[in-house]
Chain A
Amino acid sequence: MTHRLNADELLRVDALARVEGEGAMRIRIRDGLVTEVALDIYEPPRFFEALLRGRAFGEAPDITARICGICPVAYQMSACQAIEAAFEVEVPDNVRLLRRLLYCGEWIESHALHIFLLHAPDYLGYEGVIDMARDHHDLVELGLRLKKVGNELMTVVGGRSVHPINVRVGGFYRLPSAEQLAALRPQLEQARDDALATVAAVAQFSFPELEQPHEYLALRAPAGDYPLERGTLVSSGGLVFDAPQFGDHIVEEHVERSNALHASLVGVGRYMVGPLPRYSLNFDRLSPLAQQAARDAGLGTTCRNPFQSIVVRAVELVYACDEALRLLDAIDPSGPPAADVLPRAGIGHGVTEAPRGILYHRYELADDGTIVSAQIVPPTSQNQGAVEADLTAFVQNHLDLPTDELTHRCEQAIRNYDPCISCATHFLDLTVDEG
């Protein structure tokens, strides 16, 4: 006999597995209606915004990288962009392209980690990648190979893959040599083939039905690029604004049913950032190869099923490999590694596309470049409302599933967002469910 949920029950997972950081989920059902959904974050707070005050501007990329070991480059890129904006520094185009290449490395590493190690086990019915490897050895090998190329790219450009040391405000400490860049080419060509195989493999998974009407928010880059290191914020509802207006459009507010702070879009409410919004608002900016891979996988030019995010991530893997190969030709390894940076008093804003979506930084700086205040809004905080809405919709439609399976599916629905709880922690209240 399988237990099913009825009258007044609580569905809970006390330690979410295969996410970055520590969180728990709590869903309450009364008389067949989902009455409460909460993602509890028990990851301890680390107070980055407070401890940045009084530090030198040049320390911000290294310090904020430590918010997340999985997407340190995103923190470095948003920090640099914000501080350069405050100092009115224009970085040479060559530096920008190299930043883009570094960011491609992080996308490849982070997406491969999530697709193969964290998310695919849900679709194939395993507890984790090690069990999955027993039956799907070639697929896991392919994933690890892809992940390694991402790490290799970050190591060549950034010095190391976790907390790269080569990023500075204004550019880089040292440019990679022509030989180092050339040596990446065969690995990236293999990776591009592997990414295409990944799209084909994950497109075969079965996806629970769920169409969510979330407002999508992503960057839209100038000059035909798929958004990574720069761009204007655009939404599916037609909003268009730049980084300095972030605070006018995004507010952090209390939500009555939980004590967590949620980000919301003024006049709209909850919204979503990450691969689905990025893809749906920038399909035309994907490379032809990535577009074709998406079509072959059965995706349209927009995607609204959060469970298909694994396919979209795979398409973005194809793009990141394709784009990295293009950048290898475009980068001049003999150019200057950085722009001159002269501190001045001011406020600067930066927004880039972390693997999980929009990452906003704002710094107020003194005339000697000392940080007066800092604000950081990571993607996972912005997605909290969307995750909870997905859980509500999904559970409501699947109350007939056995409890174990429903719980597992809910975990999968959370993992659709590749939540990075270490990143989000500074932003969310810690609540203890004593119910």
Chain B
Amino acid sequence: MTAATAAPSRRPTLAVWKFSSCDGCQLSLLNCEDELLAVAGAIEIAHFTEATRADAEGPYDLSLVEGSITTPEDAQRILEVRRLSRWLVTIGACATSGGIQALRNFADVDEFTRAVYATPEFISTLSTSTAISDHVPVDYELHGCPIDRRQLLEVVTAFVQGRPPRIAAESVCAECKRRGTVCVTVAHGTPCLGPVTHSGCGALCPSYDRGCFGCFGPLPGANTSSLSLTLSAAGVAPRDVTRLFRTFNAASDSFRDAADASERQS
């Protein structure tokens, strides 16, 4: 119809996929109010059910995947998403470690079903909530419950430009020190996962006088057993240490091990 449609230059295509989740991480993309229209100019939003009825067929250059795998159907669907995607990036704690719904992994899911639903036989669910990387290869994992929208923009920009995302792998503690926030554990004995949690939030909770609850998940190589000892010494009960590690990233390896260890003491 117009010259524009005939232009040879092809914009990279973006697909946004949802599995078991709260929609908050996809919302982070729509929350880029100042950048949204520019992003939509640079890339073609080919599949994004929450935002548009339009649905272009794959393959897609970049797929952003929100949510964890909790049903047999979704375990199949993620294989198809992987097949259709040149790059696959998980966004958020659900996609990256199973999310809060992975608390079922530590319980009897049949009992969970009976507790919530009047007719449990209609519920088709797996006994675990698992990360996308447990099912298919993942090209990059963006942490957070929710993700930080600036980090999301950096990841999208990086993949469009064909370079690795520039996202620091350091602890919340490092961000806290840079902000000049007084340590809530040292000063007040407040339980805080800052030393073992991946940065990205800007050390938000300590700046509000509360401890980090680990929503960005474990920093690789973090020494969780040392932190558990520090928390015990500060008078935190083993049961509370377990709860602290067993929330939004409960199924990630190091948080799971730390929660299991403190549970054995309680």
Contacts and interface: CB of A to CB of B under 8 A. Distances in A.
Interface of A: 15-22, 42-51, 53, 55-56, 59, 62-63, 66-70, 72, 113, 117, 121, 127-131, 133, 137, 140-141, 144-145, 147-148, 151, 159-163, 165-166, 168, 173-174, 252, 254, 259, 261, 411, 422, 426, 429-431
B225 interface: no
A160 to B, nearest CB: 6
A160 B116 CA distance: 30
B112 A429 contact: no
Contacts of A140: 37
B53 interface: yes
- Output the residue of B26, B34, B101, B129 with the most chain A CB within 10 A: B101
B76 interface: no
B88 to A, nearest CB: 19
B58 interface: no
B122 to A, nearest CB: 4
Interface stretch (B135-143, B156-164, B170-178, B201-209): B201-209
A47 B23 contact: no
Nearest to A64: B100
Given A55-B243, A162-B28, A47 B112 contact: yes
A47 B113 contact: yes
Contacts of B19: 44
Contacts of B115: 47, 49-50, 53
A18 B50 contact: yes
Nearest to A141: B37
A173 B190 CA distance: 12
Contact of B24 (A121, A147, A163): A163
Given A17-B53, A44-B19, A128-B52, 12 more contacts: A18-B53, A47-B112, A50-B107, A50-B115, A69-B25, A70-B23, A72-B22, A128-B45, A140-B37, A159-B204, A163-B145, A422-B21
Nearest to B52: A128
- Output the residue of B19, B23, B55 with the most chain A CB within 10 A: B23
B70 to A, nearest CB: 5
B101 A47 contact: yes
B14 to A, nearest CB: 11
Given A45-B117, A430-B123, A21 B23 contact: yes
Contact of B70 (A16, A44, A113): A44
B257 interface: no
10 smallest CB-CB distances across A and B, nearest first, come from A69-B24, A128-B52, A127-B54, A50-B112, A148-B33, A162-B146, A17-B53, A144-B33, A46-B101, A429-B122
Given A66-B145, A252-B118, A259-B119, A165 B204 contact: yes
Interface string B167-199: 000000000000000000000000000000000
B34 A148 contact: yes
Contact of A162 (B31, B51, B101): B31
A50 B53 contact: no
Contacts of B129: 46
Interface in B1-47: 18-28, 30-31, 33-34, 36-37, 40, 45
A173 B209 contact: yes
A259 B122 contact: yes
Nearest to B106: A51
B50 A69 contact: no
A3 B210 CA distance: 61
Given A66-B99, A430-B124, A130 B23 contact: no
Contacts of B247: 59, 62-63
Interface in B57-99: 70-71, 73-74, 99
A44 B50 contact: no
Nearest to B125: A45
A283 B127 CA distance: 48
B215 interface: yes
A142 to B, nearest CB: 11
Contacts of B73: 42
Given A18-B52, A131-B54, A430-B123, A47 B116 contact: yes
Interface in B227-264: 240, 243, 247-248
A117 B51 contact: yes
A326 B54 CA distance: 41
A74 B199 CA distance: 27
A137 B36 CA distance: 12
A144 B22 CA distance: 22
A45 B116 contact: yes
Nearest to A166: B208
Nearest to A130: B40
A410 to B, nearest CB: 13
A69 B23 contact: yes
Contacts of A426: 116
Contacts of B48: 128
B205 A165 contact: yes
B157 to A, nearest CB: 18
B103 interface: yes
A129 B208 contact: no
Interface string B211-223: 0010100000000
Nearest to B119: A429
B226 interface: no
12 contacts: A18-B50, A43-B20, A44-B20, A46-B129, A51-B100, A56-B240, A69-B23, A137-B37, A162-B31, A173-B208, A173-B210, A261-B118
Contacts of A259: 119, 122
Contact of A62 (B52, B53, B118, B213): B213
B8 to A, nearest CB: 21
A326 to B, nearest CB: 25
A20 B208 CA distance: 30
A147 B29 CA distance: 13
B34 to A, nearest CB: 7
